Structure 1
């Protein structure tokens, strides 16, 4: 199979990634991924969220670096810039975010092993596809002139805006739980930042960031991760909004689920 780059392995993995994106989108109509407030013990073994998040996200760093560092263009300026953007995202998602979680002491039931396995599959494919794309430059598009291309510049601005919203929103949620007494209140209503407008600004930030990434790379692997992210997070955002409205009688009535002023 060599329909995209001409590399059989790469194009096969890309095809599988699109198939998995379709699976996630269809599956999201029937159930939420079993972690966090939507976790379930009916699907088997569970881990604590720190370990679960780390295991799920670590392939995005490890697989990416292994593949990227074997490519002929690994030290080219544009490839290094793209790799830096990647590593910035996963330094947060795969390392800082799991370590910074303030979990209820002794709680283990919030991260199902099925979510970890599927997450590792996604991050492995994601890491491979982008690591190879950046360091192999199959289409010869990542010369230094790409760094001044409008698609890269606009995409970078969009990505950084989404990433900033993601970071700030996660910080607000994390600080709802006292680091010295993490078991005091498991869930509270967050305020400030993106929470002034929507229930799930971190999800919105993630979607904006991957939209920017797809634009700044101008390649199908960016589209794949955007589809997978949307398939997982959009239904979850609506379910989260409904959960907050049912749990808290004083939940802000003007706050939307995902898109400010709209939905």
Structure 2
């Protein structure tokens, strides 16, 4: 599952950079021949199965180590936050292809299940010689907080009935066009540090690759749409990329 996840997501990252986007973003134009559902409903569908699995893991695999309990907690919190943002923060005005609405929850569900299952297999193992648990907690909290804050800034760009895109301002948007992705990568690194298993590290690397690819595409899109887009604003890493 780690190999499948890595190959699949890194392939998705290369597709994003080359302009072949997953069919739910602003880069994608829907065709009449494709079955679709409202984007908001699609994103709820995308996050709910993984959230329910992470929540159910407390009852399916109870009385585990502190590391395992913390891992299940951060995964549950991660997907709860995403569902909360879909319901109350993000603004949606388009549709999502039905096949994409099926692919996204399968990816999140399979990766969450793999991370939880792999952690369960380590319960009889000794603790790692270099313990990254507490640095992981710190990175997770920084990542989830920064991600939520920049999602909130994005939600305030447009009034209720507005549909046109604007250049984001505030927070780290003055340095990079996708700070929400930067903090999501930090969050995923935090999860992998808490877990310290191969599937968690592989997912962190592969999802980070995909988000970097999407950030590069996002910056390219803004440059093409806005003549006044500041050229010193990078894609995801301040002053670097």
TM-score range, shorter chain: 0.7 to 0.9
Counterpart check, 1:241 vs 2:203: no
Residues of 2 paired with 1:25 and 1:158: CA distance?
A: 23
Cα gap change, 1:108 to 1:21, in 2 (>3 Å):
closer
Residues of 1 paired with 2:10 and 2:226: CA distance?
A: 34
Residues of 2 paired with 1:92 and 1:44: CA distance?
A: 30
SS at match of 2:132: helix
- Larger relative contact order, structure 1 or 2 (CA cutoff 8 Å, min sep 6): 2
Partner of 1:10: none
Gaps spanning 5+ residues in structure 2: where? none
Residues of 1 paired with 2:58 and 2:203: CA distance?
A: 18
Partner of 1:96: 84
Instruction: Work out whether residues 46 and 113 of structure 1, in 8 Å CA contact, stay in contact via their aligned partners in 2.
Output: yes
Task: Kindly report which structure 2 residues correspond to 1:197-236, keeping only aligned pairs within 5 A, or say none.
Answer: 197-236=175-214
Instruction: Work out whether residues 49 and 103 of structure 1, in 8 Å CA contact, stay in contact via their aligned partners in 2.
Output: no
Residues of 2 paired with 1:115 and 1:162: CA distance?
A: 26
Partner of 1:169: 150
Q: Of residues 35, 38, 46 in structure 2, which corresponds to 1:45?
A: 35
Cα gap change, 1:75 to 1:226, in 2 (>3 Å):
closer
Gaps spanning 5+ residues in structure 1: where? 1-12
Q: CA deviation at 1:87?
A: 1.5
SS at match of 1:47: strand
Q: CA deviation at 1:256?
A: 0.9
Please give the root-mean-square deviation of Cα atoms over the aligned residues, in Å: 2.5
Partner of 2:165: 187
Residues of 1 paired with 2:142 and 2:155: CA distance?
A: 20
Q: Of residues 90, 98, 106 in structure 2, which corresponds to 1:121?
A: 106
Cα gap change, 1:102 to 1:32, in 2 (>3 Å):
same
Residues of 1 paired with 2:86 and 2:76: CA distance?
A: 16
Instruction: Work out whether residues 28 and 231 of structure 1, in 8 Å CA contact, stay in contact via their aligned partners in 2.
Output: no
Partner of 2:138: 157
Q: Which moved more, 1:220-229 or 1:240-249?
A: 220-229
Q: Which moved more, 1:194-203 or 1:32-41?
A: 32-41
Cα gap change, 1:137 to 1:216, in 2 (>3 Å):
same
SS at match of 1:69: helix
Task: Kindly report which structure 2 residues correspond to 1:101-116, keeping only aligned pairs within 5 A, or say none.
Answer: 101-103=89-91, 107-109=93-95, 111-116=96-101
Instruction: Work out whether residues 34 and 115 of structure 1, in 8 Å CA contact, stay in contact via their aligned partners in 2.
Output: yes
Aligned residues: 239
SS at match of 2:23: coil
SS at match of 2:134: helix
Instruction: Work out whether residues 47 and 113 of structure 1, in 8 Å CA contact, stay in contact via their aligned partners in 2.
Output: yes
